[in-house]
Amino acid sequence: MGHTHHKAQSPSHVGCGIVTCSDSRTQENDISGKLIMRLLKTEGHIVERYEIVKDEPSQIRSAIDQNIAISAIQAILINGGTGVSKRDSTYETVSTMLDKRLDGFGELFRFLSYEEIGSSAILSRSIAGVSSGTVVFALPGSENAVRLAMKKLILPELGHIVGELCR
């Protein structure tokens, strides 16, 4: 079977958890988290959980673990903390929790980012993979980066990835 056949048999509604990692974002000003939520819902996916945590490894790890523990959540979308500043710890935390990596996600995201923002794309440490049977995406916190990742990579493949995880 080819990828088009697999995609056709994939779930069209995926249960998702959204985690914003930020020391400054609140429910009122979390533009990127709300964008992820809106784009998921527009495509028919279900947002089961949404939270904002500080950019602290223990809080990020706890949020991921809590989402994984909810059987209705098949995908976790994290935004923020993927840069190279001293406070950015999402990459390190997520990478240690992955059972399988989806290296192509980060590679393609940086390629697409390069087309939009040039060499600054090398500062992105976006990552994706599977942790305890749940797909995890870690995106930058900027609205433009979230829109790019969601529209070009995540939304077109989300059901397909979850379908493959259930095989």
Q: What is the pLDDT of residues 100-114, one digit of tens each?
A: 999 999 999 999 999
- Entry pTM: 0.95
Using CA of residue 28, residue 128, residue 132, residue 159, what is the dihedral sign?
positive
CB 6 within 8 A of CB 160: yes
Parse the chain into domains and list their residue ranges.
Answer: 13-165
CB atoms within 10 A of CB 97: 17
What is the reported pLDDT for 35? Answer: 98
Residue 5's pLDDT is: 65
Measure the CA–CA gap between 16 and 20, rounded to whole angstroms.
13
Helix or strand (DSSP H, E) at 40: helix 31-42
Domain 13-165, CATH among 2.30.40.10, 3.40.190.10, 3.40.50.360, 3.40.980.10 = 3.40.980.10
How many angstroms separate the Cα of 148 from the Cα of each of 49, 82, 100, 154? 22, 15, 23, 9
Torsion over CA: 20, 24, 29, 31 (sign): negative
56-70 tens-digit pLDDT: 999 999 999 999 999
Which parts of the chain register pLDDT below 70?
1-3, 5-7
Q: Rg of the chain over CA atoms, in angstroms?
A: 15
